[in-house]
Amino acid sequence: DTEVTQTPKHLVMGMTNKKSLKCEQHMGHRAMYWYKQKAKKPPELMFVYSYEKLSINESVPSRFSPECPNSSLLNLHLHALQPEDSALYLCASSQELGQGNQPQHFGDGTRLSIL
């Protein structure tokens, strides 16, 4: 069982909808990440949070809005998405950004489909 929990597992939404993806970890990790993975492609980094502050935004369109309300929780708010945004969205966590010997732990992802 994964120690990073993502909900929902599947989400279908229209282009005008507003929805949120949720990610939770209780390992005491202080770095959290959002990745996007298209079919048969490797994950691509979107955002990195360190100690609840946004550390990296990989030039992600503003229709994706991350939020880290506390050290255990990471949200990704979605609004006015496009069909090409359909993908598997993965959340990951690690102990701290500055520790190069700690692995990132991934959740099972949210499969997002935009109609």
Partner 1 sequence: KQEVTQIPAALSVPEGENLVLNCSFTDSAIYNLQWFRQDPGKGLTSLLLIQSSQREQTSGRLNASLDKSSGRSTLYIAASQPGDSATYLCAVRPGSNTGKLIFGQGTTLQVKP
The minimum distance between CB 26 and partner 1, in angstroms, equals 17
For residues 89 and 86, what is the distance between their CA atoms, to the nearest angstrom? 9
Residue 1 DSSP code? -
- Our CB check for partner 1 shows the closer of 83 and 100 to be 100
- Our CB check for partner 1 shows the closer of 36 and 85 to be 36
- Our CB check for partner 1 shows the closer of 16 and 98 to be 98
Encode 32-100 in three state secondary structure. Answer: EEEEEECCCCCCEEEEEEECCEEEEECCCCCCEEEEEEECCEEEEEEECCCHHHCEEEEEEEECCCCCC
CA 104, chain centre distance (Å)? 13
The minimum distance between CB 80 and partner 1, in angstroms, equals 26
Contact residues: partner 1, CB under 8 A: 2, 4, 6, 31, 33, 41-45, 48, 50, 55-56, 88, 90, 92, 94, 97-98, 100-109, 111
- Our CB check for partner 1 shows the closer of 44 and 67 to be 44
